[in-house]
Structure formats: structure tokens, C-alpha cells
């Protein structure tokens, strides 16, 4: 940009404000537009497809202020921060510069307005810090008041942190600049998290600053209850997070809940690969929710219930008592269909009280927000009036119902439902609620009548029929008279302004009437603002109760929706045991079943009682991957406190679910498929315990057969000795020939019928008889000549490569050989058939013979 000395006063003002918000796009208010200049203009014009212009070689672009919200959301979605610089006052002197200041800052995770939020997803901002002893993470959702912390182990690959980021999915991450640029491994994990990463000065993360910020936001008792002492290093991240939120919120910080300290045993651990490959909240195909577990089981009626469901999927419980409590509530609604329907019907109109409570704590509620709180409060009391035990879902719920009922009643009687926002002055508060406001409005109405009477009198006295009245900032109240009527103007008229087509005048009486009208209008607007402000104050005082009601609504929705799902899809209550083995009878994959229908789905069983390590063989497309995922998802659902898709399920408490399914090159990180696979496998071997569930599909496929098989064998032996419950799918059939002590052999069954095979997608004891690779290639549409060449090559080079057929055959595909031989025989017969000398009857008989051979 140009030197400040050469800039206009307005541009110098812009530069001064921009210097304080360098990492943000600055919306600079000029009249009815927000303008952007310099690099902001160049960046935003591309993102928003705006016309880029120049003024004195300065790039610039702009948007209408009344349409700013749409553009703002697009910038937030693109990971930008935006500072709103408003005109605070305009001088009567047009040469004097308007006063401007940044009034609001928007970042992806610090916005609270619903138009910028994903209603079904939390909006977390996370602070991460590292020292020589550990990693410290603190994350908060200011739209709901959640605040959580966790201390993580130091690891070379930061796999635990990566898994945490995968399950929390923060929109923003803050980290000290020295840690970010020093720790390359940490930087890589943060950069690929998908969150916007902000580097802060290291003093943000000082222990002293952290304690000061924490004590300012939370009472000392809260920190003590959370097990956080004055020298706990987790305070470094807590303080930085609170400071960052405060920097980006121009109002008071929202009411945050008591800090929840997450321990290793709080939630079942899911590695990032499990979140991704089990497709818990998004599909592998396109990253959308369609095709995910969340989408398949979501029957919630409220957005807060939907968020709770998503969080429960990503954070399954480890505590048996808490799991059983959830299952008891689901059972309650499952066994009482009438109550389930009553609750779901009342919840269908409920608003998002958890997020509205946060807005209430910041006094950012709109008129519609107030009505939403009031209406939902009425529904809430309808819910609990018949079932007082619902209040026990929020153990710390304690409030005078009279206070909430009074607030809801007054809100419904006072707030105009047709009022869209707080800018619609004069239409927010209904008439009849506040006597003082009614009096001001009444006087305003009378003033209009007085003005109308005065106008009519002047018209009669002067004979000026097209007399108009108005006012502006320069000349005040006036009469406007056209040129053809000027000769009728009386001496009492005082000329104020000359126009092309007439003159503007005033009178002392007109000025007095206009002044009284303006005064009454201002008084009415002022009183309306006071009444609305009183409602904001009342909502702020009960924001804790609003949040509690919202939490109970979320839980009611969660439990009743899971009961509805169980009833609709035939789920059963799992038996949860402290220790022991998985025993699933006729389990089903809920996502696949949702698409195929229950009647079309082939159920499968699994038990780890005979052996905790299952080695699974079978061709591609036979259902191995679905079977593996099915077992993991059923275990996860049970730990959520949900019924499960099975005829029966006994699930032991599991500490971790690891998933290693498929891999792809990560070119940006310079990592091959095999390196990605080995890195994920290494993390599993380091972290798995005898209480873990491990799902592994195809280990060692990204290298030579000898190396791959050796690695697969070693991993298999390690997990077998560890006694983790493991489902290990492989195409290395040779592994089934080795010592199978402590291993159960399973295969996906196939039915052969002459020249065709059918994948039964049924897991059965034993080893797959063939890989059927060439048959799968044919199903995929590989050209016939290529299939023939493959069969020929197989027979030529691997005819002697076989092993005990009871253990399976890796290479020889008997059905492919038979089919190919039959086709060759038929082709030869057709080519040798003499069509010229054959009679029609002989030709028909020949066709019949060929047909019989094909059947």
C-alpha cells in the first residue's frame, strides 16, 4: 500500500484500523457499503466473485451492507476471520471524517448467530500447547458453553492428538508460534486437521496468564472440582483459549459450564482411521453425512438432540454405570410407545435452547430468539408436568419454575411475532404490555393527527392544494410549494430552500409540531429499547436454567429417538459386561441395512469366546470389510448406550477401537500407501491393550509378497499374544496354513454353480476355497481377451502352486478353469459346424446341444 502521508484522511483511518486487525478481512463501512481495500480486496474478490476495481492504484471491492450476512458466511466457511468496522457517528460538517471503529469480529468458531452455524455440529475452538512433559488441549464451544480439557502423552507421531482432533473436529486451533514452528510433527498434524490454525505469541500460553484467565472466568471451586491445581500445566491452554475468545468477542464472554477434565478412561478411544473408515459422521465417498452411521441412525427431532447423537457416536462411554443408565432410558421409551410418541411430538417444535442460552449470557438475543425460548419453555413444562423424573436427567437442575414461567408468559405477551430483528424499531413490543410505551405511542399518534389538521388548515387558508411537508437534517421541517403556487405563500412562511421546481418554507407552528412529533417518536423508541433490554437482562439472569432445559431436551430427544430407531429397525438391548468376550448373534451393519432393507441383508454372528483373534479369508466383494465394520459399529453403539442391530449381543467394556482399513498415498506429506499403512499399524501396536477391539483389513499389501506376508504374520502374532479382540482379514491364504493355536479361522462363503459363483456374504468357520480374483475381474468389466490371458498365465505359471485344499487354494481358480475350458470347447464346435450342408432340423438340434452344455 501507499505511504500513509500520501493517502486521503479516510484511507489513513482505514490503514490505522487495519494495522490492528492484520489477520482479518476488514469490512470498512462507507455509506451503504462495506468496502475492502488492498490485499483484502484481491483475496475477497476471488472468493466471493466480486468485481475488483482500483482507486488511485489501490485495489478495492465492496458489498451492500444489508446483504453482508450472506457474504460473511461464505468467508467464514472459507476459513477467514472478518472484522466489522462501522460508522459510529456522522458529523453535520460534510468535510469532517466520520468516526469509525471495529464493533464485531467474526471467526469460524466464535460466531453465535445461527445463520453462520451448522445446527447439527458443535463449533469448537481448541488451544494446544506442548512442553517437555506432555501435550495440553483445551476446547470450548461458546454457542453451548461447553469447556473441556485433556492432557495427552508426548508421541513422535502425535497419533493421540490426531485422534482427538478427528473426534472433536474443531473449527479453529490456536497454538503458540514458537511451538508451531519448532515442532514439525505437531505442525503437520494441526495443518492437516482441516481447522483454521492461528499462531499466538508465546506469552498467551504462560502458566501465570493461564491461571489469571481461568480464575477470572471460573470460580476457584470449579477449578478444584475439575482437579486443576494452580500449577497444572493444562492452565497454559485454558488461559490461551479464554484470552483468544475474549479478543474476538466484543461483548462479555459467554457463560461457560464447569470445566470437564477428560481422562483416558472417560470415553472409548477411537483412532482417526476408525472415525474415517467406519464412516461414523461422514462417508468416505464424498465426505457428506449421507452414507454415514450418523445419518443412518439419526431419528432426532431437535438440532440439539442431533448434536448430542453425533457427539455420542464420536465419544462412546467407558463407564458401565453410565452406559446402563442410558440403556435404561432407551428401554423406558421402547417399552412405553405412547410416552415415546408424546415426547417426540412435543420435541418437534422445540428450539435450540443450549445455543440460545449462550446468546442470552452475552445479551445477543433477537426478538425471535426470546419467543423461541418462551415457546420451548412452555413445551418443556408440558413434558415434565407428567413425568417429573425427566428433571433428573440434569443432576444440577435447580430453579424456581415460577421465574421461568413468568418470563415465558411476559415474553409471549410482549414480543411481536412479526418482528424480524431488533433493527425494526417501533415494531418489537406489542401494544398493551407497557403503559409508558403505550402513552408515548398514543401521543405520537395524536401528533400525526395534529400535523394533518394543521396541513388541512394551511391549505384552506392559502389555497395551496398540492402543499407537501417533510424534514431533513439541514433545514429541518418544511412545507414544499411548487413554482405555480408561490404567489399564494403567506408572509408567515419562512423560506428555507430553493428547488428547481419550487421552494421550501417553514413556520414556527410547523417546527413546534414536528419537534413534538420527533420527541414523542424518540420517547417511544427509547422506551421500547428499555423494555426489550429488560427482557435481555431477565434472560441473562436465567441463562443457566435455559441451558439446563436445553440439556434435558437434548437427552430426551436422544433417548426417545434411539428407542424409535430400535422399534423401527428391530434393534435389541445389548448386555454390557465388565470383562470377557464379544458374542454377537445375527448382527447387521446399520448403514448397509438402511440402504438394502432388513429383509435383503445377510446377518452375521461373531464370538471371541473360543479365540480372541479371528483370521478371515475370502474374495473381494464377498463382504469381509462390511463384516469387520459391522462388529466394530455394534460394539460402538453399545458403548453409546444404544440398542444394537442384532438378535443378541454381549459386549464387554472396550477401552479402544482401532481400525486399519485401506490406505492411499499422501503425496502432500511425501508418504506412500505402504508408509501410511505401516504408520497406522505401528500406532495400533503401541496403543492396543487386551481390552481393545482391533479391526485390520489387508496388512502388507503395499510391498512385495514376501515382505507383506512376513509383516502380516508378525502383526498377527503380536496381537494374538496381546489378547486384543482382533478381526484380521487377509488375502495371504498361506497364513491359514501356519500354527492356528489361539486363532479362529473364518471365511466369507461362496456358492459355485457350474460357470458362475454367488457371494453369500456369510461368515462361516474355515478357510476360503479360492480367491476368485479372475471372476471378480470379469464382474468388474475387464475385457474378455484380458480375462482369457489371465487364466492362461495362471495355469501356465501357478499350476503347481497349491496347498492342502482343506486349508484353501490361493491361486488356482477351479470355476474359472472349468468355464474357460467349456467356452473353448463350445467355440471349437461352433467353428467346425457346417452351416452350408446342414438342414434346418440339424441346425436346431445343434443349438439345443450347445444350450444344454451352457446350462
Q: Contact 138/109 with Cβ under 8 angstroms? A: no
- The series of mean pLDDT values per 10 residues for the chain, 855 residues long, is 71 94 95 94 95 92 93 94 90 77 94 91 96 95 94 92 95 96 94 95 95 88 82 96 91 81 92 93 86 96 97 97 98 97 96 95 93 96 90 72 91 91 80 92 81 84 82 80 87 88 88 84 91 96 93 97 97 97 97 87 94 90 90 98 98 96 51 78 92 91 80 92 95 80 90 73 84 73 81 71 42 51 72 74 75 70
Q: Contact 64/32 with Cβ under 8 angstroms? A: yes
Q: Contact 256/147 with Cβ under 8 angstroms? A: yes
What is the DSSP code (8-state) at residue 278? T
269's enclosing H/E stretch is strand 269-270
Alpha helices, H only, 607-699: 624-640, 673-687
What is the DSSP code (8-state) at residue 574? P
Q: Round to the nearest angstrom and report the end-to-end CA distance of the chain.
A: 82
- SS3 call for 572: strand
* 679-717 residues labelled b (16+ CB within 10 A) or e (exposed): bbbebbbebbeebbbbbbbbbbbbbeeeebbebbbebbe
How far apart are the C-alpha atoms of 237 and 390, rounded to whole Å? Answer: 36
CA pseudo-torsion sign 503, 508, 513, 517:
positive
How far apart are the C-alpha atoms of 143 and 127, rounded to whole Å? Answer: 17
Residue owning grid cell 400525526:
448
Beta bridge partners of 429: 415
List the 648-652 sheet strands across, edge first: 575-577, 648-652, 583-587, 604-607
Q: Contact 506/515 with Cβ under 8 angstroms? A: no
543's enclosing H/E stretch is helix 543-569
DSSP codes, 656-671? EEEEEE----BGGGTB
Radius of gyration of the chain from its Cα atoms, rounded to whole angstroms: 36
How far apart are the C-alpha atoms of 217 and 140, rounded to whole Å? Answer: 13
- Find the Cα–Cα–Cα–Cα dihedral 461, 467, 473, 475, rounded to 10°: -50
Would you mind telling me the total number of residues written for the chain in this entry?
855
Q: Are strands 135-141 and 146-152 parallel, antiparallel or unpaired?
A: antiparallel
C-alpha separations of 823 from 108, 500, 816, 830 in Å: 63, 99, 11, 11
DSSP codes, 34-87? EEEEHHHHHHHHHHHTPPPEEETTEEEEEEEGGGHHHHHHHHHHTT--EEEEEE
What is the DSSP code (8-state) at residue 267? B
Render pLDDT for 450-468 as a digit per residue (tens, 0 to 9): 888 888 888 888 888 788 8
How many Cα atoms sit within 13 Å of 94 on the Cβ side? 3
Render pLDDT for 596-638 as a digit per residue (tens, 0 to 9): 887 788 999 999 999 999 999 888 777 899 999 999 999 999 9
Which positions ≥6 away from 11 have C-beta within 8 Å? 37, 58
Give the pLDDT confidence score for residue 338 in this predicted structure: 97
Give pairs for 442-445: CB < 8 Å, separation 24+: 443/520, 443/523, 444/517, 444/520, 444/521, 444/524
Phi and psi at 525, nearest 5°, equal: -65, -40
Phi and psi at 562, nearest 5°, equal: -70, -35
Phi and psi at 521, nearest 5°, equal: -65, -45
How far apart are the C-alpha atoms of 390 and 76, rounded to whole Å? Answer: 38
Q: Contact 740/804 with Cβ under 8 angstroms? A: no
How far apart are the C-alpha atoms of 596 and 833, rounded to whole Å? Answer: 47
- Which burial class, exposed, middle or buried, applies to 631 when counting CB atoms under 10 A from its CB (0-12, 13-18, 19+)? buried
- SS3 call for 744: strand
Among residues 122, 113, 214, the alpha carbon closest in space to that of 172 is found at 122
Q: Contact 108/172 with Cβ under 8 angstroms? A: yes
CA pseudo-torsion sign 368, 371, 372, 373:
positive
Q: Which domains does the chain have, with CATH numbers?
A: 4-106 (3.40.1170.10), 114-263 (3.30.420.110), 298-429+542-569 (1.10.1420.10), 435-534 (1.10.1420.10), 575-765 (3.40.50.300), 785-849 (no CATH)
- Cell numbers for 669: 506429506
How far apart are the C-alpha atoms of 655 and 688, rounded to whole Å? Answer: 9
244's enclosing H/E stretch is helix 235-247
**Where on the phi/psi map is residue 509: left (φ > 0), alpha (ψ -120 to 50), or beta?**
alpha
- Find the Cα–Cα–Cα–Cα dihedral 413, 417, 418, 423, rounded to 10°: 90
- Cell numbers for 188: 503437520
How far apart are the C-alpha atoms of 494 and 510, rounded to whole Å? Answer: 11
How far apart are the C-alpha atoms of 364 and 357, rounded to whole Å? Answer: 10
Q: Are strands 743-753 and 613-617 parallel, antiparallel or unpaired?
A: parallel
How far apart are the C-alpha atoms of 747 and 619, rounded to whole Å? Answer: 9
Give the pLDDT confidence score for residue 399 in this predicted structure: 58
How far apart are the C-alpha atoms of 474 and 93, rounded to whole Å? Answer: 10
Q: Contact 703/674 with Cβ under 8 angstroms? A: yes
Q: Contact 378/553 with Cβ under 8 angstroms? A: no
Among residues 181, 155, 188, the alpha carbon closest in space to that of 669 is found at 188
Amino acid at each position: 500500500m501507499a505511504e500513509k502521508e500520501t493517502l486521503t484522511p479516510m484511507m489513513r483511518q482505514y490503514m490505522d484500523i487495519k494495522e490492528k486487525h492484520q489477520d482479518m478481512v476488514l469490512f470498512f463501512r462507507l455509506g451503504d457499503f462495506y468496502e475492502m481495500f488492498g490485499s483484502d480486496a484481491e483475496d475477497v474478490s476471488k472468493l466471493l466473485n466480486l468485481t475488483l476495481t482500483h482507486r488511485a492504484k489501490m485495489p478495492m471491492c465492496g458489498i451492500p451492507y444489508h446483504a453482508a450476512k450472506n457474504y460473511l458466511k461464505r468467508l467464514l466457511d472459507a476459513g477467514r476471520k472478518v472484522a466489522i468496522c462501522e460508522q459510529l457517528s456522522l458529523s453535520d460538517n460534510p468535510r469532517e471524517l466520520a468516526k469509525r471503529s471495529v464493533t464485531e469480529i467474526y471467526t469460524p468458531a466464535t460466531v453465535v448467530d445461527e445463520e453462520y452455524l451448522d445446527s447439527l455440529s458443535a463449533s469448537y475452538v481448541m488451544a494446544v500447547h506442548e512442553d517437555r512433559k506432555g501435550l495440553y488441549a483445551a476446547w470450548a464451544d461458546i454457542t453451548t458453553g461447553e469447556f473441556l480439557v485433556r492432557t495427552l502423552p508426548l508421541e513422535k507421531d502425535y497419533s493421540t492428538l490426531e485422534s482427538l482432533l478427528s473426534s472433536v473436529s474443531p473449527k479453529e486451533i490456536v497454538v503458540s508460534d514458537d511451538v508451531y514452528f519448532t515442532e514439525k510433527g505437531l505442525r503437520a498434524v494441526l495443518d492437516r486437521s482441516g481447522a483454521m490454525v492461528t499462531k499466538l505469541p508465546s506469552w498467551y500460553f504462560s502458566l501465570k496468564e493461564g491461571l489469571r484467565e481461568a480464575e477470572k472466568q471460573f470460580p476457584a471451586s470449579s477449578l478444584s472440582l475439575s482437579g486443576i491445581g494452580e500449577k497444572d500445566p493444562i492452565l497454559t491452554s485454558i488461559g490461551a483459549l479464554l484470552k483468544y475468545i475474549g479478543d474476538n468477542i466484543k461483548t462479555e464472554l459467554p457463560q461457560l459450564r464447569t470445566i470437564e477434565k477428560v481422562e483416558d478412561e472417560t470415553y472409548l478411544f477411537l483412532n482417526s482411521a476408525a472415525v474415517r473408515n467406519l464412516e461414523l459422521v461422514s462417508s468416505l465417498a464424498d465426505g457428506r453425512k449421507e452414507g454415514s452411521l450418523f445419518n443412518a441412525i439419526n431419528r432426532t427431532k431437535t438440532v440439539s438432540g442431533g448434536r448430542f447423537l453425533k457427539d455420542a457416536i464420536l465419544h462412546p462411554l467407558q463407564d458401565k454405570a453410565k452406559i446402563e443408565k442410558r440403556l435404561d432410558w432407551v428401554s423406558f421409551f421402547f417399552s412405553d410407545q405412547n410416552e415415546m410418541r408424546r415426547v417426540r411430538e412435543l420435541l418437534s417444535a422445540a428450539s435450540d435452547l443450549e445455543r440460545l442460552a449462550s446468546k442470552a449470557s452475552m445479551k445477543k438475543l433477537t426478538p425471535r430468539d426470546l419467543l423461541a425460548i418462551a415457546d420451548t419453555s412452555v413445551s418443556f413444562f408440558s413434558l415434565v408436568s407428567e413425568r417429573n423424573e425427566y428433571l433428573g436427567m440434569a443432576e444440577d437442575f435447580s430453579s424456581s419454575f415460577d421465574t421461568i414461567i413468568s418470563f415465558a408468559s411476559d415474553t409471549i405477551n410482549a414480543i411481536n411475532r412479526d418482528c424480524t430483528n431488533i433493527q425494526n424499531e417501533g415494531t418489537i413490543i406489542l401494544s398493551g404490555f407497557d403503559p409508558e410505551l403505550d402513552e408515548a405511542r398514543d401521543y405520537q399518534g395524536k401528533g400525526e393527527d395534529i400535523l394533518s389538521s394543521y396541513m388541512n388548515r394551511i391549505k384552506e387558508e392559502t389555497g395551496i392544494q398540492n402543499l407537501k411537508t417533510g424534514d431533513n437534517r439541514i433545514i429541518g421541517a418544511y412545507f414544499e410549494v411548487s413554482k405555480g403556487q408561490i404567489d399564494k405563500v403567506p408572509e408567515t412562511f419562512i423560506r428555507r430552500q430553493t428547488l428547481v421546481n419550487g421552494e421550501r418554507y417553514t413556520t414556527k407552528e410547523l417546527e413546534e409540531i414536528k419537534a413534538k412529533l420527533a420527541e414523542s417518536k424518540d420517547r417511544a423508541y427509547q422506551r421500547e429499547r428499555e423494555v426489550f433490554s429488560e427482557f435481555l437482562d431477565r434472560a441473562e439472569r436465567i441463562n443457566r436454567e435455559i441451558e439446563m432445559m436445553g440439556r434435558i431436551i437434548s437427552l430426551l430427544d436422544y433417548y426417545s429417538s434411539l428407542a424409535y430407531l430400535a422399534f423401527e429397525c428391530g434393534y435389541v438391548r445389548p448386555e454390557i459386561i465388565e470383562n470377557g468376550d464379544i458374542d454377537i448373534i445375527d448382527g447387521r451393519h446399520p448403514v448397509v441395512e438402511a440402504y438394502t432393507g432388513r429383509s435383503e441383508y445377510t446377518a452375521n454372528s461373531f464370538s471371541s469366546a473360543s479365540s480372541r483373534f479371528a483370521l478371515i479369508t475370502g474374495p473381494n466383494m464377498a463382504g469381509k470389510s462390511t463384516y469387520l465394520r459391522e462388529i466394530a459399529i455394534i460394539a460402538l453403539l453399545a458403548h453409546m448406550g444404544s440398542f444394537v442391530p442384532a438378535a443378541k449381543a454381549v459386549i464387554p467394556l472396550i477401552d479402544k477401537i482401532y481400525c486399519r482399513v485401506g490406505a492411499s498415498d499422501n503425496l502432500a506429506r511425501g508418504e506412500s500407501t505402504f508408509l501410511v499403512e505401516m504408520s497406522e499399524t505401528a500406532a495400533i501396536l503401541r496403543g492396543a491393550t487386551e481390552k481393545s477391539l482391533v479391526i485390520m483389513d489387508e496388512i502388507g499389501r503395499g510391498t512385495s509378497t514376501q515382505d507383506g506376508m512376513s509383516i502380516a504374520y508378525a502383526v498377527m502374532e503380536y496381537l494374538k499374544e496381546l489378547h486384543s479382540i482382533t478381526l484380521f482379514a487377509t488375502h495371504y491364504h498361506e497364513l491359514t496354513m501356519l500354527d492356528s493355536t489361539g486363532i479362529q479361522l473364518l471365511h466369507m462363503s461362496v456358492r459355485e454353480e457350474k460357470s458362475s459363483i454367488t457371494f453369500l456374504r456369510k461368515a462361516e468357520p474355515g478357510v476360503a476355497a479360492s480367491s476368485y480374483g479372475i471372476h471378480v475381474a470379469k464382474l468388474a468389466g475387464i475385457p474378455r481377451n484380458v480375462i482369457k490371458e489371465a487364466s492362461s498365465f495362471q495355469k501356465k505359471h501357478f499350476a503347481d502352486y497349491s496347498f492342502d485344499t482343506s486349508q484353501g487354494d490361493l491361486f488356482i481358480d477351479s470355476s474359472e478353469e472349468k468355464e474357460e475350458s467349456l467356452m473353448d470347447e463350445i467355440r471349437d464346435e461352433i467353428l467346425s459346424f457346417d452351416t452350408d450342408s446342414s438342414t434346418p432340423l440339424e441346425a436346431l438340434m445343434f443349438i439345443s446341444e450347445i444350450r444344454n452344455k451352457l446350462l
